Structures are given as structure tokens and as C-alpha cells.
Structure 1
């Protein structure tokens, strides 16, 4: 037998196709098309040949710096489509790098990312043709990059991706890949300035998958609607890659609304769901909520911010074991899990560290703080990213033996970790530290509040005080909520210095990334 090269993620589609060729791995809800694992590998082989022709190939960094050297890159500006999955497996087969880029960026921002990524090929879904054209026109190097279109309703600005694919879908003879070779560039969800590209190696992808499978008990018969965009780490590493690893089924669509997600859960007997708190809340509030059969769901996780107690209770009341998770692009989206038979009084936590994750909470000098005290959360895991692409100063600040998350946390006596908010969001009022997440969780218990962000504003007496920016619940108006009413609610729960002293209302809180509240936008508008 001829010795095969070590391909890491590049071998997955072929090996999964050999193990379960007829099993459906991907469903495109937009078209109703189902793809078996044999289909996915054939598509990946065709795509790999296309990428090899375009120079999206290996440039091993085994003895170099993965944050400064990587294989050929293919950039994508698209909503979730089957071609994204082709490109994921195909770049892995060729030893290249997949760089998904957000279609929500402005042209100058996209131009900066294209300049940083410097792709050999750009794939653009047709609704974003004008965005891509404006971005490439603004950047000389990107302007020379060939572009392929993913058409919508038959319209295409450039040659189409499908027409460019070679016919040969047989086994692709890929190169030997080192575990540290980059496979994904995933940009951070920064809302000011241009996001940084985080370098995710083959080894990191594998270890994140192993961590997720072992911590959450994923199975080969699991089915999930993928509600995160594939330009986000959630679109790949939360569930898509682990389920492909196991041979499960992932359902994608161009856009998912809460009613559609409920429909997929019932129609496909979905077993696993991970979403941000806002989506979970909107599902609870949707007209289909009461009538949807949720009995197939055995694991539902909330991530991307604190989930309100009232939302969690609504899911529990339906017999669904909803709990909170925690992750970040720089160190995998899956770092904690709830122990078996976890008590409901621990629902505000993200659980305990996964098998292949170490966690600690440190002070500003890097010393671990005592149990129960707040400090910065640091993580250590083989699924950590290598660093930021061509950003040595930022890489040195965040990465080392431990990854500095920038999040504040505390660990209780049983080892459960609570996330107390972003380090940069903490403010001082009258000499006392105030952690907005704690205040927001309490304010959200008021029946008039759908969601809330607490920001610091200047105050002559106390230096800074909290201002609650509230999105009201359906059917109520501003007269249903006042500062005295909030004080009455909070008196038995929070020290007085933590109480918001100002109040503002919005029809809808702004979001960035996958429906995550954009705190910077709130502060820019309502800070004083």
C-alpha cells in the first residue's frame, strides 16, 4: 500500500465518506437539497482541484511563524451556502487557508481585510457584489485577485463558482500537512477599527472538535440548525466541524429567523442547538413557540453573552436542558461544560473547564486570585489559536502559555466559572468596582425589560454612575419603567452604588456579529 501523506483536516471528508457515504451531512434549507458525506467529498475534490489551479496550496510553516506565513488563501464573502463547506474541506486538502469575511462590513473595512489576507481567489455571493467591487477597487492588490460568483436567481457579476469547477471529482492527492499549518483565518468581532485575523491551525481545529465532542457528548445521529454565520467562529467550530467529525447533520440557510429555527427543530428532529441569547429569547417570544415539538432537543447552549434567567426558565419549562457556554475566536468557542445533573442555582455560570482546557482567574499582575474573587479569565488548551495574522504586538499581548481573554470571571468553591463581563467595560463609581453584566442581569428581571445594556456615564459626585439603556418588552411603553421602580427591584439584590442612576430607551439594541449586542455602539450613542 502506498503511504498516504498526513493531511489532518484535509482527510476528513474522504474518511467520513468511507465510513458513512449515504448519511446526510449537510442540508441546504434554502433549496431543500441534501448532501451525503459521499457528495460532500466529491464536491470537495472538485473544489480542491480548482484551488490548486489558482495557487491556494501549501506553504508549510512547521519551522516558521504561522502568524506571518501561511499557504495560499481563498477569501469568501457570502451567507451560509454549500460552497462554503466545499471550500472548508478543499482548502484543507490543498494545504491552503480559508478566510471567511463578513458581508456586514463597510467597503473600506473589507478592503483592509482583503489587503491583510492577500487572497489568491475571492468568492463572492451575488448580493454582495457591489460591496466586493467597492472594496477591491479601493485596494490595488485585491483588485488583481480573481473573483468567482455565487449566483442568486441566476444573476452573476463574474464567472460562477460552479462553472469554474473541474469535472474530476475523484480522490485528490494532497500534500503532507504539519499540525501547525494554518487552515482558517477567522476575524474577531471588533466593532471599532478593522477586526484582526486570528490564525487557526489544523491542530487547533481538531482539538476544538475533540473538546466539543467529549464535553457535550455529541453523537453521529445529532442534527443541528446552524444559526451562526460562517464568517464567525461559531459558524465552524461551535457545531459544524464537530458534527462533521462525528458524521452528524448540519442544516444551513442564507438567513435564519426564530420561526424557521423552530420549524427545523420540529421537521428535522434536531437534537442540538447553540445560539446567542437574543435568538433564544426571540424563539421563546415567537408565535410558533408553544406549538413546536421540542422533545427531540437534548442539548441547547447559549453563547456570546449572558442569557437572562427568564429566558432559561422558559426553555426549562418546555423540558429542554438549556445552559450557558463560553468561548472566543482566540481560544475556541467551546471551553466549558455543565457537569452531569448540574443544579439550577448554577445556571448563571458557564460550568467547569472541558477535559482539554485549563482555566484560571488572575489579577493585573498575573497572580491567581482567591476563590470567589473577580479577575481576568485566562485559558490554556491545544485548541488555542496561534496568534493574530501579521500583528506581533497584539499577538504578544494576548497569546503565550495562557490566552488572555479580556473577560472578567470568578470561580466558586465547586469550580463553576461565572463570567462577570469584559474587563474594559468595568467602571468605578465612588471608589467601588461596578461590573455591568451583574447589573444587567438584575435589571432584566423587571417584566418591562426585554434586554438592557448598562454603560458608565460621568457624574460630579461619584465620578461615574451606571446608565441603563433598555429595550422594552412587547406591549409595554416607557411609562411602565422608571428609576424608582428599578431601585425598588434592585434594593434586595445589589448594593446601592451598583444601581443605575440614569435611564434611556431604545426600540432595539444595536447588534454586531451573530446577533450580539454592540456595546460600543450603545456607548457611542448614549454615553454622556
Structure 2
């Protein structure tokens, strides 16, 4: 084996982990019941790397993403996804997961953008993939991930070389890309974010050091692997430590509860909707949650009622913050953090710098609301083939403009006030929907709410609350409830009840869709 193989710190995750803990269980497939040690995962990745190399999914020409091959994947969470992650690390190729929730025309546009050398499709999405390929201007080989019965294309597992010996890959640099992760945009084609090996390593390091990950940690994966949450929230950091990740094709709240108990899970990160559904599930009261050492909510504000339900069960649930472009693990709660800070995302992780700026880029003092900027070696590099949007987000001065409004209190805790574009002005006062939504959702008749601005002759704009809950709630009743909780100018002046709020990404509320239908 050459000096440029797995001895390099960049890329070959599975060989390094195998060398340290070959017999530890690294991955559990809850759907099939299969368990894989790090030795087995590395052998699988070696075979997969040889297949990728045969199809040109390798690294060439330095840190220019255009110089390397890419493998696109359209699938639910499966062990083969992990094989492809470890294998692209070995070959220097790029793994580009695609959301199976997208329509064929959207998939076709993404395929044109990614231009993969190989496409891997789980069989349930074969028809969508075929339609997308017919619309796309690419011609690449396709391999199937079987579920049952016949497959549309040659099976991936039957195409793998039998040679599982160590794979001698190319020389890689920290800045070389490893993942293309598309953002969960609700209008237009999502942007592909280029994430380097270095960014992945630093995010894992930040997570381990700030969240206190350990080699014996076990976590159920609640995010899809086409999302940054599927890789960078816990999967790669847990692999970094030699822990165990439990995945499944589909996770419902009851199954997550079952797995926490059956697998003695120690870590849990999920979006607020999943955490709430777990609380409401029939298994909630009887499930043993005592092994959970850390639990975090991400992907949007978590209501106080949900947080309290977990605290009542002895679980130290807190809120996190991240985005595809940076991290996504940027903050943590200090030891013995006070419950009155529960509406914050904590303080910056060890290797994360934070500032709050006004519209001119001037840094604001503590307590004032402005745009959140982050700076860390775990930030992504660029948006793929989007130079103008890259320049606006990945700034020349090294800071990343998140587009989110935030403030830092006197104790250094950061509160997220919502998207910059969602803020509205009522009677000359700035209104941040996230604050209003938290207050409205505390009402016992409200399950969830989104507040959007609507035109008003007197105040310019006022808030309309789009609510999931008991439609007997009146505006006067809500106003009385909010008295003393929220300034008058912030209170919604209209109520609309819906059976469900639209979602984008992993159970994340699609605010743009709500605003388009119910806003100005």
C-alpha cells in the first residue's frame, strides 16, 4: 500500500476506524436487523471503492470540484449509503445524495447540475429516476438498490468486485470536496452545497468536543441521508468516535421510542415535529428513556411544552442550530445550563466564531437583533455553479452570512429570531415571527403555528397566525392569553386554521409555502 492510501488523515474514515476498533458495531440496519462491525464496514467500502473507480468516481486535479467524479444516490437510509460515503472517501470522489421527495422534473434538473458518473437508485424510486433521466441531459450508468422482486437496472450488490482488500486511493487534500448536499429550498431547484473533507472533520471535532460524544454512544438516525442532518449532525461524529448508528428505511415516532429502549440509545437529535410526535405516542409513558445522555432539537424552534415533556422524563433536551452551509453543529449548552435559557441555542462550540451585524455589516452590541454570521473551519466551500449566491453567503472576509436573525444576551447565549426575510415591520416596530409563534403555540388549543405578515391600512403590516389546533380558539381568547406575554404590536390580528402545515426537508415547516398562500 502506498503512502497516499489510508495513512492520509483525509478521506479514508473506515480504514482508520477499523484500525482502532475493528470489532465494534458501527452500524445497525433496524429494517433488516443486520449489524456491521467497523471491520465489515471497511471491507464493504473497499469493494465499493473499486466499483466507483471503474466508473470514474475518483479525484483528479486538486480542489476544483469540476475535476472529480460524482456518484448521485436516490434512496432512503440504507447501509449502502454508508458504503458509498466511506468509498468516496477512499477514491476522492464526491457523494451527492438526492431527495426522494422531489418530483421527477426537479430531480432531472439536479442530475444535470451534479452530472454524476454513476447513479444509484433504490427500487421504489425507479420510475421517478427513469423519468428524471429522460428529462436530463446526461447519460450515466445506473445501479439499483433492491427491495423485493425484480430491479430496473443491474443491482449494486451484484456489481461489486469481490476484492475487499485495502484500497490504495489518490492523494487528497483537506479542501477537496466530499459531499454535495442540497439545501431544502421550497421554490426553484435546491442549491448544491460543496462540503470538503476538512469541513466534515471539523464539524465532527466540534460535535465531539462540545457535546461530549463517547466511543460507547448509540444513536438512532432520524434524519434522511439526503440532508446534512443525515450525515453531519450525529452520523459522522459518532463514526469519528467509534460509536453505533442505527438507521432504518422509515422511522416513525413509535419505532424511535422502541429503538431507544431496545438499543440503550445515549444520543438523540430530531426535528421538533418528531419530538412532539414521540411525546404524543402511546409508547411515550412506558418507554425507558434513562439511557439518553443528550437530546437536541434542530431544524426550527422547539416549543416549551415539548421541551418540558422531555425534561419531565429526565432527558436534558435543548435546542441546537445549524445549516447545510456551516456545520451544522454550531452551538452547545454549557454544563448545568439554567432552564430559563431554554429558548436559546446555547453558546458557540469550541471552534466557532459568532457575530451579529446590521444591514451594513457593522457588528452590533449584545442584546440587539441582527443577521447571524458564523466563522469556522467546518463551513462549506461554495454553492455548486452559483457564483453570485456563493459570494453573498460565503463572504471574502471569511464569515458566512446565514440569513438568520439572532441576538446574543449578556451571558453569551444566542437566540435565533427567525429568517431575515421573514421579519416584518408593524407600526414602525420590528416583529420577529419566531417569537410570536412561540407565544401563540404555548396556548393549550394550539399544536403548531406560523405567523406571516399581511397588509394593514393603519399599521402597514400585521401578523396572521396560521394555526394547527382547536378551531374553537377565538382571536379575543388568544389576545387575552398573550396579555403580559407579548407586546400588543406583536400579537396576531387574524387567525387561520389548517389541518396541517406544509413541510420541506426532514419535517421542517415550509414557511415560504405558508406565506405564499396566507401572507401578503
TM-score of the superposed pair, with normalisation by structure 1: 0.97
Pair 1:483-2:475 in alignment: yes
Measure, in 1, the Cα distance between the counterparts of 2:154 and 2:377. 40
- 1:54 aligned partner: 55
**In structure 2, what is the equivalent of residue 80 of structure 1?**
77
Please tell me whether the aligned partners of residues 10 and 173 of structure 2 are also in contact (alpha carbons under 8 angstroms).
Answer: no
Contact 2:2–2:168 (Cα < 8 Å) also in 1: no
Q: In the alignment, is the contact (CA less than 8 A) between 2:347 and 2:412 conserved in 1?
A: yes
* CA displacement 1:265-296 (0-9 Å, x = unmatched): 00000000000001000100000000000000
Q: Which residue of 2 aligns with 1:91?
A: 88
Q: Do the aligned residues in 2 keep the contact of 1:81 with 1:252 (CA within 8 Å)? A: yes
Separation of aligned partners in 1, 2:498 and 2:148: 37
Instruction: Work out which of the residue numbers 219, 223, 226 in structure 2 matches 1:224.
Output: 219
Q: Deviations over 1:417-469 (max 9, x none)?
A: 00000001001112111100000000011001111000111112212110001
1:379-405: CA deviation from partner (whole Å, max 9, x where unpaired): 000000001111111100000210000
2:407 counterpart residue number: 410
Aligned counterparts of 2:278 and 2:289: Cα–Cα separation in 1: 12
Describe the superposition over 1:327-368 as per-residue Cα deviations: whole angstroms up to 9, x where unpaired: 000001100000011000000000000000000100001111
Aligned to 1:499: 491
Q: Partners of 1:8 and 1:109 in 2: how far apart?
A: 36
User: In the aligned structure 2, how far is the partner of 1:391 from the partner of 1:267?
Assistant: 45
The answer to whether 1:445 aligns with 2:437 is no
Contact 1:410 1:419 in 2 (8 A): yes
Instruction: Indicate whether 1:286 and 2:278 are aligned.
Output: no
Q: Report the Cα distance in structure 1 between the residues aligned to 2:460 and 2:107, rounded to whole angstroms.
A: 39
Cα distance between partner residues in 1 of 2:271 and 2:248: 17
CA distance in 1, matches of 2:14, 2:517: 47
Query: Is the Cα–Cα contact under 8 Å of residues 180 and 203 in structure 1 kept in the other structure?
Result: yes
DSSP-derived class of the 1:137 partner: helix
CA distance in 2, matches of 1:7, 1:246: 18
Q: Could you tell me which residue of structure 2 aligns to residue 191 of structure 1? A: 186
Flag structure 1 segments of 5+ consecutive residues without an equivalent: none
The residue that corresponds to 1:170 in the other structure is 165
Are the aligned partners of 2:10 and 2:172 in contact in 1 as well (CA < 8 Å)?
no
Residues 8, 177 of structure 1: 8 Å contact kept: no
How big is the shift at 1:140? Answer: 2.2
Matches within 5 A, 1:244-259: 244-259=239-254
TM-score under structure 2 normalisation?
0.98
- Cα distance in 2, alignment partners of residues 264 and 99 from structure 1: 28
1: CA distance between counterparts of 2:186 and 2:176?
A: 29
Instruction: Judge conservation of contact 1:70–1:181 (CA < 8 Å) in 2.
Output: no
Q: Which residue of 1 aligns with 2:320?
A: 325
After TM superposition, give the deviation of residue 510 of structure 1 in Å.
1.2
- Structure 2 partner of 1:21: 22
* Matched residue count: 517
CA separation in 2, counterparts of 1:362 and 1:160? 52
TM-superposed CA distance for 1:7, in Å, is 3.9
